[in-house]
Structure 1
Amino acid sequence: MQTISLLLLLICATCRIASSIKDGLLPNGNFEYGPKPSEMKGTKVVSPKAIPNWEISGVVEYIKSGQKQGDMLLIVPEGAFAVRLGNDALIKQTMKVIKGMFYSLTFSAARTCAQEERLNVSVSPNYEKNDYGLFPIQTMYSSNGWDSYAWAFQADEPLIEISIHNPGVEEDAACGPLIDSVALKTLYPPKRTPANLLKNGNFEEGPYIFPNTSWGVLIPPHIEDDHSPLPGWIIESLKAVKYIDSEHFSVPEGKRAIELVAGKESALAQVVKTTIGRSYVLSFTVGDANNACEGSMVVEAFAGKNTVKASYQSKGKGGFKRAILAFKAESSRTRIMFYSTFYTMKSDNSGSLCGPVLDDVKLLSVRKLHHV
């Protein structure tokens, strides 16, 4: 009986560890708990473990919302505090995860005074995979100067260390990006179904979106990460695509969709198995996100060498239409790809990039047309 009780106790302990991995902010992921006054010199944090749950190195500042830097007012998107990563600054946190599982890290960042601001996000110990992502943050897509970014990885060990590093060195040592709201989400790789040959065609599986932000999440190009934060899809371009939710945007179907925010530089692709000579139909929805993105929009869809241009006249207030591309497979593997023909900017004078929304993408063999 004692042996059985001990075994049950061990099983329950394991359950508690596994269930403690929840989607959302890391412990003190929004930096609302800060250093003691004795651990700061002005705004600079001088002790490596002064910020609860985090370890720091380099020039790290603890910033309060509304703080001024010269003529610039520093805004914090969530809560009252954020950190600024100056010269060679790094923040890191150790997390318990499930070995072998896929995860997406979402964080919010804003540039301040450096000319070429970028961030290096990494996870250790993923030595063999050399897991890291480099995020240039010169291009801002939101009107308030803050953007959220996603990056994905596969956990090699049950204990990992997540790091965000500013590799830049500026004349002003404090210059560098602001960081706020760091979150983790478990990703479940989707499978193809009889109703759709494409994986994650409705984009429901993807990175964590902060509930109190209204600018979506940027998913970087595939050259910047080995595992896509948008399972099943490759960001096959130089610029990011934006992951949006129905709580803050107009989404044609379900709760998630993609906004193609950078013209032909913002392309989305997936390679799918096909049978040579068989007929297929690719169908998808094009619309606008109800975010003041107005004007003529065109989404170009490709299936191998076949293409169609789906035009959409946006009033910036939501709406969508369905488009279809019928083709015969010329290869056993067909590349499905989408991009926006034009660059579009919001009509609110913010200068923010925007674009058409893509959702509910389906690929079916011709004998299953009734599902389209």
Structure 2
Amino acid sequence: MMLRFSSSIFLLLLAIVNVGFAAKIKDGLLPNGNFELGPKKSELKGTEVIGRHAIPEWEITGFVEYIESGHKQGDMLLVVPEGYYAIRLGNEASIKQRLNVTKGMYYSITFSAARTCAQEEQLNVSVTPDFGVLPMQTMYSSDGWDIYAWAFQAEFELVDLVIHNTGQEEDPACGPLIDSVAIRILYPPKMTSQNLMKNGDFEEGPYFLPNTSSGVLIPPNIEDDHSPLPGWMVESLKAVKYIDSDHFFVPQGKRAIEIVAGKESALAQTVRTIPGKTYTLTFSVGDAGNACAGSMIVEAFASRSTVKIPYESKGTGGYKRAVLKFTAEAARTRIVFFSTFYHTKTDGSLCGPVIDDVKLLSVRNPLRL
């Protein structure tokens, strides 16, 4: 006997069946990642958001504010980097979004953040069981907004991304502003016969927000297991900046690294080597074409060897090739880069030399400079 269903019942059953088949997250902004869809007027008390699910696609806890571009807090004008709205996290406040991901894959989260009136702000970013604490004491840009990246490996198909302000200020409205939360799948590169460095050209890395031109900060104390810059570690107190050829001068390909905080920005990678064997490390040193001018020096270390590469920057773009030859003393050798000097642009923002196209070969292999 054939059963007949009304169209409304059929659609209801279809919706129930498809609950577990939500589309996987794609590269780009998360759903309502720029917070342009806001709470209803009935869910706002001034700028404070009332209700855990008042912001579409997000769940909030604690004192969260919905900030419109141009909002004034005393004498301070709050600027939104993209669109018209951002959110502010007060004491112990957080935002959460559930993501449908592929178990075992690596992902990078990119988001904009700005410090307001607190001085010791830091953000806890987590996807269970991974978490990272991103310090915000140093502002790298001149407009107060910096773009950060953080990475994780998915251990489940459904995960919760949480951005949490751990601060305890007398004024809960002194928390950080958050905007433009995006995601990108990372494909960890491998060493090859042409290059023993992983991701030596920096082409694999976090998502670039399309409407911004300040680059992406790879935070300090990032280990290589879950680095938004696969293969590399940031072993320093300050971040390094990931830049793209759409907004900066890049020596090779589409991506490079700007060392923006002198010796406090150290980029490192540990590579497999054979003790007693001689290797040649080559790399490019230049400037990003972003008006960062002056006498620059990039220092590179490998085993017991070091080299200092001077570069006179006019701030208009350019590069030179550099070489470091060393003999390995162990089965693993740590390669480190940093800038000897600190540099700032005329607007006060931090900047520095660019490194790119890092290659490591044993001396028996042909070398092209």
Check whether TM > 0.5: yes
| Kept after mapping to 2: 8 A contact 1:152/1:225 | no
| Alignment CA distance shift 1:86-1:179 (3 Å) | same
* Structure 1 counterpart of 2:148: 149
After the TM superposition, which residues 78-227 of structure 1 pair with which residues of structure 2 at under 5 Å, given as runs? 78-124=82-128, 126=129, 131-222=130-221, 227=226
Q: Quick one: which amino acid aligns to residue 98 of structure 1?
A: T
Deviations 1:314-336 (A, max 9, x none): 01111110000112222221111
Deviations 1:265-298 (A, max 9, x none): 1011111111222221100000001111110100
Indicate the SS of the match to 1:28. coil
After the TM superposition, which residues 209-288 of structure 1 pair with which residues of structure 2 at under 5 Å, given as runs? 209-222=208-221, 227-288=226-287
Q: 1:115 Cα deviation (Å)? A: 2.1
Does residue 63 of structure 1 match 2:67? yes
User: What TM-score, normalized by structure 2, do the two folds share?
Assistant: 0.92
- In 1, Cα distance between equivalents of 2:248 and 2:330: 37
Does residue 342 of structure 1 match 2:346? no
Deviations 1:8-58 (A, max 9, x none): xxxxx99x856x431111100000000000000001001110000000011
- In 1, Cα distance between equivalents of 2:190 and 2:352: 28
After the TM superposition, which residues 287-302 of structure 1 pair with which residues of structure 2 at under 5 Å, given as runs? 287-302=286-301
The counterpart of 1:30, out of the listed 26, 29, 34, is: 34
* Structure 1 counterpart of 2:365: 368
- In 1, Cα distance between equivalents of 2:169 and 2:233: 34
| Kept after mapping to 1: 8 A contact 2:110/2:208 | yes
- In 1, Cα distance between equivalents of 2:236 and 2:42: 47
Paired positions, count:
351
Q: 1:222 Cα deviation (Å)? A: 2.8
| Kept after mapping to 1: 8 A contact 2:224/2:231 | no
Indicate the SS of the match to 2:364. helix
Deviations 1:221-267 (A, max 9, x none): 23578511100011111111100000011100000000001111101
- In 1, Cα distance between equivalents of 2:209 and 2:172: 30
- In 2, Cα distance between equivalents of 1:186 and 1:135: 21
Q: 1:369 Cα deviation (Å)? A: 2.9
| Kept after mapping to 1: 8 A contact 2:98/2:160 | yes
Q: Quick one: which amino acid aligns to residue 192 of structure 1?
A: M
Consecutive unaligned residues of structure 2, counting only runs of 5 or more, are 1-17
- In 2, Cα distance between equivalents of 1:345 and 1:303: 28
* Structure 1 counterpart of 2:47: 43
Q: 1:215 Cα deviation (Å)? A: 0.6
- In 2, Cα distance between equivalents of 1:146 and 1:98: 31
- Considering only aligned residues, what root-mean-square deviation do their CA atoms show, in Å? 1.5
| Kept after mapping to 2: 8 A contact 1:252/1:359 | yes
Deviations 1:100-136 (A, max 9, x none): 1111111100011112111111112x2xxxx111111
After the TM superposition, which residues 292-371 of structure 1 pair with which residues of structure 2 at under 5 Å, given as runs? 292-346=291-345, 348=346, 350-371=347-368
User: What TM-score, normalized by structure 1, do the two folds share?
Assistant: 0.92
| Kept after mapping to 1: 8 A contact 2:223/2:233 | no
| Alignment CA distance shift 1:17-1:196 (3 Å) | farther
Consecutive unaligned residues of structure 1, counting only runs of 5 or more, are 1-12
| Alignment CA distance shift 1:271-1:226 (3 Å) | closer
Indicate the SS of the match to 2:53. coil
- In 1, Cα distance between equivalents of 2:281 and 2:52: 53
- In 2, Cα distance between equivalents of 1:237 and 1:138: 14
- In 1, Cα distance between equivalents of 2:90 and 2:221: 27
- In 2, Cα distance between equivalents of 1:103 and 1:67: 33
Indicate the SS of the match to 2:42. helix
| Kept after mapping to 2: 8 A contact 1:306/1:327 | yes
Q: 1:140 Cα deviation (Å)? A: 0.8
